[in-house]
Chain A
Amino acid sequence: MKSKIISRVFVLGDNVDTDQIIPAEYLVYSLTKPDEAKLYGKYALSGVPFNESGLPNGNIKFIEENKFVSLHDIIIAGKNFGCGSSREHAPFALKMAGVQAIVAESFARIFYRNAVDGGFLIPIESKFKIKDKIDTGNLIEINLVSMRIDNICKSTSFELKDLGVVKPIIEAGGIFNYAKINKMI
């Protein structure tokens, strides 16, 4: 696991559900065939109502026209990120779009498990409501050792919650690696 992630940030609201992260009509694509898998990047967050896409002002495309990868490797969101279906396609789509970490006030359980166990990206809970204090496009540094997030554009800094009991799984890069390291399989 890296100790720092630096990127432009994409800011979203509360209750971003899995239908917004990857609409159901795209779930038919293969996750392993490369030419189909990259479509998950293209359609990541395509279900988010446009006026809420890239807060505070919205109307920002997460993925630009004809692109498969986002300019934003970090997402900041409000509470209950990833609620809805159990589709692992959701963290997968965000990973394909290049997302490395999501900082949210809280995560829905299945999305959180999928992100961690699949080793797709790092879900981090913020200690406070920070989505209103950071704008889409701001340059952000997440320090995974001190568990802080710095907004380089605004010179502000916020504490993050510890990764907790799942930290070893995140560090291993997913449940299979974790189980192999620990000789469980």
Chain B
Amino acid sequence: MGRTITEKIMAKSAGLAKINPGENIWLNVDILMTHDVCGPPTFEIWEKEFGDSAKIWDENKLVVIPDHYIFTKNTQANRNLELLKNFAEKYNLPNFYPPFTEKYKGVCHIALAEEGYTIPGTVLFGTDSHTCTSGAFGLFSTGVGNTDAAFILGTGKIWERVPESIQFIFENKLPEYLTAKDLILQILSDITTDGATYQAMEFSGETISKMNMDERMTLTNMAIEAGAINGIIQADDVTLNYLSGKTCKEFEIFTSDTNAKYKKVKIYDVYSIDPRVAKPHSPDNGELARNLKNVKITKCYIGSCTGGKVTDFVNAAKILKDKKVKVNTFIIPATKRVEESLIAEKIDDKSLKQIFIESGCILVSPSCGACLGGTEDTIGRSVDNDIVISTTNRNFPGRMGSKEAEIYLASPLTVAASAITGKITDPRDYL
């Protein structure tokens, strides 16, 4: 029987010739990523458990990217940034990206890719559930808590259950009105939020091979929304082009065998998918955008690791060009690089930034922002009975701030179209 890409990478990392789904194995970790929320408690646990002999297993493999609570007056949040800074100084960490300096990046999962930490065939753990995003580069990546991260920090090892894999094959070229977000929302509607619990989600097919890395990351990013351990896409020329110049590491590209064993295979023809929205309060509560055209909204949010990448803003700008928004529309680039691209990227002769400003959007500095609500003074945070349409990944009660707010999740195209009308709108009306 053949093996899946996930099984091959895990076997290599564990140094085992043969592994079986369901088994717990010990992996050797290539990269550990942490941020401002989980970094400080991780370091505390590590110092406490390893005591005076505490030694970081490999400083070069630890990446610290503060991104969650950055632009706030909240004292505890700022204390976390201070703690990270002190820790980084104490241990002389080479891969620390502190805010309010030249090195600041923004949202960790996108920064990991931009900085070339996402190496095909490797194993990457992070103290954030959306660490599965990096799987877009053909590697095994997944989220863990602080204790597990502290264990990795001291040993470079962690146990993991070998998942069974579900394969999602997308056929045909993505039409102009669809994005990767619509595809993953379709999957979530079909398999629900625990449809892939403890499993790997592998994406493939013609649609995927033609997708750029931004879009691929949108798919793997939301694998956790189905409960998956990891999302994964085989590395190909698109991957190699993205990484070229970002890393000089040698790596091995793994692919699934044609006779690999899958728990399930689901095949989609993208022409049969329409722009989709996840209604409150769950990412699997799916509906067609056009069936919600009577839903009035009070806020639009375009940002986060899911929907705050360059491609997301290009899509939004396509719709917003020469139009005015009817409701407060927040533009939050995931990272500094994305923010810079808003100036560099143009549609006709206008930069994306110009397009957004002219249409009346509110531009916000890169960070997680109100994707997870943030502290009280976070720009774009939902208040009272806000009805928000957002390019982010979660719409649980209270996720973006107010517990009373309703959050609809959609693609950047759909959010931009909705911004123009003040109601949920199918982007085809504006394409």
Contacts and interface: CB of A to CB of B under 8 A. Distances in A.
Given A28-B80, A165-B24, A179-B151, A84 B396 contact: yes
A108 B148 contact: no
A109 B375 contact: no
Interface of A: 15, 17, 19-20, 23-25, 27-32, 36, 47, 49, 79-80, 83-89, 91, 106, 108-110, 113-114, 117-118, 165-166, 174-176, 179, 184-185
30 contacts: A15-B193, A15-B282, A19-B397, A20-B396, A20-B398, A24-B373, A24-B398, A28-B375, A32-B41, A36-B76, A47-B403, A80-B197, A85-B128, A86-B38, A86-B143, A86-B145, A87-B37, A88-B145, A88-B147, A108-B227, A109-B197, A110-B129, A113-B148, A114-B144, A114-B145, A114-B148, A118-B147, A165-B24, A176-B49, A179-B151
Interface in B38-93: 38, 41, 44, 49-50, 69, 74, 76-77, 79-80
B44 A31 contact: yes
A166 B37 CA distance: 27
Given A28-B80, A31-B41, A118 B193 contact: no
Interface string B146-173: 1110010011000101000000000000
A89 B76 CA distance: 15
Nearest to B75: A28
B229 interface: yes
B257 interface: no
B349 to A, nearest CB: 41
A175 to B, nearest CB: 5
A87 B376 CA distance: 19
Contacts of A47: 397-398, 403
A27 B396 contact: no
B374 interface: yes
Contact of B38 (A80, A83, A88): A88
B399 interface: yes
Contact of B129 (A20, A23, A79, A85): A85
Contacts of A85: 128-129, 372
A15 B192 CA distance: 10
Nearest to B37: A27
A28 B77 contact: yes
Given A114-B145, A175-B148, A179-B151, A25 B373 contact: yes
B394 interface: yes
A23 B375 CA distance: 11
B78 to A, nearest CB: 9
10 residue pairs, one from A and one from B, having the closest CB atoms: A28-B76, A88-B145, A114-B145, A80-B194, A86-B143, A118-B147, A86-B129, A88-B146, A17-B396, A24-B372
Contacts of B122: none
Contact of A110 (B76, B145, B394, B397): B145
B287 to A, nearest CB: 18
A19 B147 contact: no
B198 interface: yes
Contacts of A31: 41, 44, 146
Contacts of A109: 197-198, 227, 229
Interface residues of B, number: 47
B359 interface: no
A117 B148 contact: yes
Contact of B397 (A27, A30, A49, A174): A49
Interface in B228-271: 229
B372 A113 contact: no
Interface string B380-413: 0000000000000010111100010000000000
B129 A175 contact: no
A179 to B, nearest CB: 7
A118 B229 CA distance: 19
B127 interface: yes
Nearest to A177: B49
A157 B233 CA distance: 45
Interface string B174-190: 00000000000000000
A88 B42 CA distance: 10
Contacts of A174: 147
A86 B144 contact: yes
Contact of B145 (A19, A113, A176, A184): A113
Contacts of A17: 394, 396
A109 B373 CA distance: 23
A83 B399 CA distance: 13
A55 to B, nearest CB: 16
B144 A108 contact: no
A185 B153 CA distance: 12
